Structure 1
Amino acid sequence: MNIHIIGGGNLGVAIALGFAHFTKGNQITVTRRNVASIKHLEAKGIIVSYDNTLNIQQADLILLTIKPYQMDAVLNEILPYISNKMIASAVSGVSMETLEQKTNAAHSIVRIMPNIAAQFAESATCISFSEKNKVAGEKVVELFNHLGTAIVIEEKLMDAATVLGACGTAYALRYIRAAMQAGIEIGFDAPTALAIASQTVKGAAKMALDEKVHPEQLIDRVTTPQGCTIVGLNEMEHQGFSSALIRGIKTSLQKIKE
């Protein structure tokens, strides 16, 4: 496919690198006004430009990874050059209905919410599309399944998906950082503590994804009567571990809806 990504920030670059590395035969174009900051992508065979319309007429899929306030300016720039395109929007807070109105219902609109782990084919990408755009939606799902998992959700949950799947990357990394710091305190050097904490999280996630059971069932396999795991878990709960995480996620969602 010819994939045209408008918005060469962290997310757009991560998606471009994921497609370049984990899928074959795609022509990928990434645009950003400050094109110098994404010049390194050229070494991966990715075309970069400050011009949002470069190669856009040949694009099979246009990905919007821009800020909400940039939407109108970008659409005004590109719409005269395109017709009957698949447009996948990762723009927070902009509904499919709004995007269809802004594009005069002349294109197939899909909403997506990947995360920056797309670069390593480990994104949890949430995707929404209407019945009339089902063909385009299924193509986008197939494409993003190469970059991790692609989960179809109702559009009303897209803001929640942004928090759980995209912001969630930062939350998981904050746990790893804390575990690393604790590892240093109990005797490991920083690189070793980071390696252990990171691999442990990766292993736990792999278990949850493969076995598809409630996390408590997996936790039970690690805890033993009067063991060190259960006392550690109980102390974390006494200190508000789960409630703090839940409150953080809900606070992030409130911010999106403001």
Structure 2
Amino acid sequence: MSSEKVKVGFLGAGKMATALAKGLLSSGFATSEDVIASDVNAAAREHFFLVTKAQTTASSREVLEQSQVIFLAVKPQSISSLLDEVMADLSPRHLIVSIAAGVRLSTIESAVGDKRVIRVMPNTPCLVGEGASGFSRGSHATWDDADLVSKMFSTVGLAIEVPEPLLDAVTGLSGSGPAYAFAMIEALSDGGVLMGLPRASATQLAAQTLLGAAKMVLETGEHPGQLKDAVTSPAGTTIAGLLALEQAGLRGSLMNAVRAATERARELSRS
């Protein structure tokens, strides 16, 4: 499926659907005439329209009639009833993209048959255009479908294709990862306050420091260890701080956080 003049529909007009639609529009990937969203919640429809100026409706059928790419953007517990509702109106021209957390491809494909399906695990920084998303193709989705989804999610950050069994690890790393980063920012800010900085200044410096460090990793392509060594002078301040982090077990704690979140994601997927 070419990305030229693709009509995009959202079944569900919540925050993630709105953020993705905003990314598609601001990047020039689509125009407001190319996007439509449905939701039973009038307030969600109103917010989607205010942000995107795209069409909204209470009718799922109307979305399917007007769109080629269909986003399943409802809560996981609502997926089954949604698929039952729209199944009769799905056709071979539709590419189904699910952003429902924990809902496996097999669950969706068992409901939609031989339709093309891609499952995506986005994260909340998509709301500010800096997301980190993993996605997996279903058994009938093509390379072109994957390329299209990658381009769409690249409008709100980074998108990487992985085999579906690894999507739980994506959940444990980038899905839950913003919470780890927020905790680190809060702790760094606390350290700044401990050493005399005003709270507002400490929080700004902490957040910008993590943002800048992340940008250096992505833009230079260098290993994080190399970048760390470049900041670490012999007998200097940074190595003293790194020693404190090693003694506190920071690396092991973060690795364990990813493992624990991944294992929990696996449990939820099975249930």
Provide TM-score, normalisation by structure 1. 0.90
| Equivalence for 1:39 | 46
Q: Which SS does the other structure have where 2:118 is aligned?
A: strand
| Equivalence for 1:156 | 165
1:93 aligns with 2:102: yes
Q: Is the 2:69–2:97 Cα contact (8 Å) retained in structure 1? A: yes
C-alpha displacement of 1:161: 0.9
CA–CA separation in structure 2 for the residues paired with 1:143 and 1:257 = 27
Closer, same or farther in 2 for the Cα pair 1:32/1:170, shift >3 Å? farther
| Equivalence for 2:255 | 246
| Equivalence for 2:71 | 63
Within the candidate set 9, 16, 19, 2:24 is matched to: 19
Q: Which SS does the other structure have where 2:101 is aligned?
A: coil
Q: Is the 1:35–1:48 Cα contact (8 Å) retained in structure 2? A: no
Within the candidate set 218, 225, 228, 2:227 is matched to: 218
Closer, same or farther in 2 for the Cα pair 1:8/1:185, shift >3 Å? farther
C-alpha displacement of 1:100: 1.5
Measured against aligned partners, the alpha-carbon deviations of 1:211-251 in whole angstroms (never above 9, x if no partner) come to: 22321111001111111111111112211211221111111
C-alpha displacement of 1:37: 4.2
Closer, same or farther in 2 for the Cα pair 1:179/1:48, shift >3 Å? farther
CA–CA separation in structure 2 for the residues paired with 1:170 and 1:53 = 37
CA–CA separation in structure 2 for the residues paired with 1:98 and 1:163 = 21
Q: Is the 1:100–1:109 Cα contact (8 Å) retained in structure 2? A: yes
Q: Is the 2:87–2:111 Cα contact (8 Å) retained in structure 1? A: no
Quick one: which amino acid aligns to residue 227 of structure 1?
G
Q: Is the 1:18–1:120 Cα contact (8 Å) retained in structure 2? A: no
CA–CA separation in structure 2 for the residues paired with 1:41 and 1:53 = 18
Q: Is the 1:68–1:94 Cα contact (8 Å) retained in structure 2? A: yes
| Equivalence for 1:125 | 133
Measured against aligned partners, the alpha-carbon deviations of 1:52-82 in whole angstroms (never above 9, x if no partner) come to: 3333211121111233221110101112222
Closer, same or farther in 2 for the Cα pair 1:41/1:9, shift >3 Å? closer
| Equivalence for 1:136 | 145
Within the candidate set 166, 173, 189, 2:175 is matched to: 166
Quick one: which amino acid aligns to residue 253 of structure 1?
T
C-alpha displacement of 1:8: 3.2
Query: Where does structure 1 lack aligned partners over 5 or more consecutive residues?
Result: none
CA–CA separation in structure 1 for the residues paired with 2:188 and 2:195 = 11
C-alpha displacement of 1:88: 0.7
| Equivalence for 1:176 | 185
Aligned residues with identical type, % of pairs:
29
Closer, same or farther in 2 for the Cα pair 1:9/1:42, shift >3 Å? closer
Closer, same or farther in 2 for the Cα pair 1:251/1:41, shift >3 Å? same
C-alpha displacement of 1:28: 2.6
Which runs of structure 1 show a deviation greater than 6 angstroms over 4 or more consecutive aligned residues? none
CA–CA separation in structure 1 for the residues paired with 2:48 and 2:7 = 16
Quick one: which amino acid aligns to residue 128 of structure 1?
S
CA–CA separation in structure 2 for the residues paired with 1:82 and 1:132 = 15
1:28 aligns with 2:35: yes
| Equivalence for 2:91 | 83
Measured against aligned partners, the alpha-carbon deviations of 1:145-179 in whole angstroms (never above 9, x if no partner) come to: 22222211111101111221121122112211221
Closer, same or farther in 2 for the Cα pair 1:245/1:16, shift >3 Å? same
